[in-house]
Amino acid sequence: MHGRYVKGADARARSVSWHYSVDSREIRQHLPDTERGWHAGSGNVNSIGIELCVNSDGNWAQTKRRGQQLIAYLMKKWGITLANVETHRAQTGKNCPANLLREGFAAFKAGIGVVPTEEVASEYTKQEAVIIKAENFQWASGKNGFEDILRRHGNKNENDAYKNGSLTESDAFGVVAKALLAQPSETVPDAHKDAWAEFTDRGIVNGERPNHPVTRAQYTTMQKRQEDGK
């Protein structure tokens, strides 16, 4: 049921998706690990989403065991530490996963790695993903522009996927989002240190955010301060 939902109209309308659904019988993969899901707010950029299914006809203890198996498998596959295994609540503040939070998430984490891992059944096929390939790049910003963004803001998996022609459109947008949200450095470049220090002392600039863009309104104020002899 959860596998059908993630591909259904409601999930698409709400922009909801996650990587794995787990119940007492099986583990199903909906997205490749390197494709961005939409389930954890700002945590979507660098997380793998797992939903533990609470079914009326299911075995909750077995569902948790399979979830622990899956997490152990992914930790080994991607080099993830136990400290980075988090709940949705840690990312979004919502009461999720409610059952695990009520029972104690620390106890659940303690069981990860104790159970043996198994291969994960997958319902994902490459035909379901939109791939960004270097040889047919059609982004408005241009191939070179995107590759520069990917080099500076993409992780190793995303860079490797782009090189071998398997970077998904979703992950590409995720890299661009990281670039847009990234804050400029607070370090003044050596070539501008003297002028920056002088203008700060004179009160023309306030000495903060040296590498942020300047609006026209801010520029006129700075120009007036300079003309007033500050």
Structural domain count, the chain:
3
Amino acid type, 160: D
pLDDT for residue 84 is more than 90 = no
11, pLDDT greater than 50: no
Q: Give the model's pLDDT for residue 123.
A: 46
Last residue of a domain, one of 78, 94, 122: 122
Residue 78 sits in the same domain as residue 136: no
Q: Which of 122, 141, 165 is the last residue of a domain?
A: 122
Q: Which pairing describes strands 131-132 and 50-52: parallel, antiparallel, or unpaired?
A: unpaired
C-alpha 173/C-alpha 180 separation (Å) is: 10
Are the CB atoms for 34 and 156 separated by under 8 Å?
Answer: no
Tokens at 91, concatenated: 């990312």
pLDDT digits (tens, 9 = 90+) for 111-161: 886 655 555 554 444 444 444 454 455 554 567 778 888 888 888 888 888
> Which residue is listed with tokens 């080994």?
76
φ/ψ of residue 183, rounded to 5: -95, 135
Specify whether 55 is located in the same domain as 134. Answer: no
Residues 6 and 118 in one domain: yes
Confidence of residue 102 (pLDDT cuts 50, 70, 90): confident
Which pLDDT band holds residue 190 (cuts at 50, 70, 90)? very high
> In terms of domains, do 143 and 170 share one?
yes
| Dihedral over Cα of 46, 21, 40, 89: its sign | negative
pLDDT digits (tens, 9 = 90+) for 35-70: 877 666 655 667 888 888 887 777 888 888 888 888
The whole domain housing 70 covers: 2-122
Q: Interior CA angle at 199 toward 194 and 202, to 5°?
A: 125
Same domain, 13 and 115: yes
Q: Is the pLDDT of residue 194 over 90?
A: yes
Q: Are residues 95 and 151 in the same domain?
A: no
142 and 208 both lie in a single domain: no
